[in-house]
Structure 1
């Protein structure tokens, strides 16, 4: 018997009462009258991200240049595989993920926004997914038609659609900048990933 089995066996021997799993079918996930408005509100509050709203007719490259990159004190290194955006690096064509270590602004597309917690599902649609985590400032572009009420609806969409895993078997939820308060009780940004996140929200007509 392995040490793991010995531990589990000892735990079972000292278990006095057991309980059935709760009936999760009776759980009613939270919903909103206006999930889009709720998503936008929580993006800037709970998630701690910046929000830029544009229309489908706006020039995305100009928005990135003027409202995101324009805030940097020097010429930043930009990485993206979104066509039409000026960038020095492309996560599809770099030789290795290490090349993305020097990225100041990484730009990716999000496919599902969740109103209850401002999480955004970012499927891997690029060769090197390190762009999502190595960038100092991560920009996520998402469409207003892709907002759902809660995580239950988000996971249902992911399970039902093979689109999210056509090229790569990976995706992740991102909600605002990386932050932790475990270091001497001080809130630290960028401990595990981006120090800042901007959500570019595309309003469709």
Structure 2
């Protein structure tokens, strides 16, 4: 069959679109401590969280956690630790030896320890994945209970690149040999302010 014949057959046999199901979000409401639940679930997926009292503690905490980091990209104005500047013209392959990236997380999800980050908060899309270690800074007021709530919140955003990050990069083979840092950062620390 020609390409056009295949595409016509697909168009002809396309099922009717169905509306999305109505979900009563009230069924998912729970009276829990969002920060504690987020911390527990982030730890479960291999990340760690540190609660800070205010933004002025960010640099001291990062220095304590990553004392040997020298090649640092900071994408947040609250941190003065950046030693490498990047912009839209920066070649992503040139970031392969970055020790630490510091990025703002827009939203966090208590149920699974995921953090929503967008390209508005880091100039180079590869940055959170190419760095050795990753620090995300999240406001405790931006922690949501479930993905349903977060999807509702991010549906109002500009349609730019965004991704959920949950724990450090990891993979396991069929023999269940876990490898951390296989496709991205070796560690993920979330600073909750």
Fold equivalence (TM over 0.5): yes
Kindly state the Cα deviation for residue 190 of structure 1 after the two structures are TM-superposed.
1.1
CA contact (8 A) 1:92 1:126 kept: no
Residue in structure 2 matching 1:189, options 168, 176, 180: 180
TM-score by length of 1: 0.78
Quote the residue 1:32 is aligned against: 30
Helix, strand or coil at the partner of 2:46: coil
CA contact (8 A) 1:178 1:195 kept: yes
Kindly state the Cα deviation for residue 151 of structure 1 after the two structures are TM-superposed.
1.1
CA RMSD, 1 decimal: 2.8
Give unmatched runs, 5+ long, in structure 1. 13-17
Helix, strand or coil at the partner of 2:29: coil
Kindly state the Cα deviation for residue 35 of structure 1 after the two structures are TM-superposed.
2.2
Kindly state the Cα deviation for residue 192 of structure 1 after the two structures are TM-superposed.
1.1
CA distance in 1, matches of 2:23, 2:126: 39
CA contact (8 A) 1:52 1:198 kept: yes
Kindly state the Cα deviation for residue 25 of structure 1 after the two structures are TM-superposed.
1.1
Quote the residue 1:107 is aligned against: 102
Give unmatched runs, 5+ long, in structure 2. none
CA contact (8 A) 1:81 1:92 kept: no
Kindly state the Cα deviation for residue 63 of structure 1 after the two structures are TM-superposed.
1.4
Quote the residue 1:60 is aligned against: 58
Helix, strand or coil at the partner of 2:28: coil
CA distance in 2, matches of 1:186, 1:99: 31
Off by >2 Å, runs of 4+ in structure 1: 1-9, 20-24, 26-32, 34-37, 90-95, 182-185
How many pairs align?
A: 186
CA contact (8 A) 1:120 1:173 kept: yes
Q: Deviations over 1:136-186 (max 9, x none)?
A: 111111000001111111111111233xx5xxx211100001111126531
Residue in structure 1 matching 2:70, options 46, 68, 76: 76
After superposition, the Cα gap between the structure-2 partners of 1:140 and 1:183, relative to the gap in structure 1 and judged at 3 Å, is farther
Quote the residue 2:85 is aligned against: 90
Kindly state the Cα deviation for residue 90 of structure 1 after the two structures are TM-superposed.
2.5
Q: Deviations over 1:108-159 (max 9, x none)?
A: 0101001111110001123212111001111111000001111111111111
Alignment of 1:43 onto 2:42: yes
Quote the residue 1:198 is aligned against: 189
CA distance in 2, matches of 1:131, 1:31: 35
Helix, strand or coil at the partner of 2:40: helix
CA contact (8 A) 2:39 2:48 kept: no
Quote the residue 1:159 is aligned against: 155
Helix, strand or coil at the partner of 1:173: strand
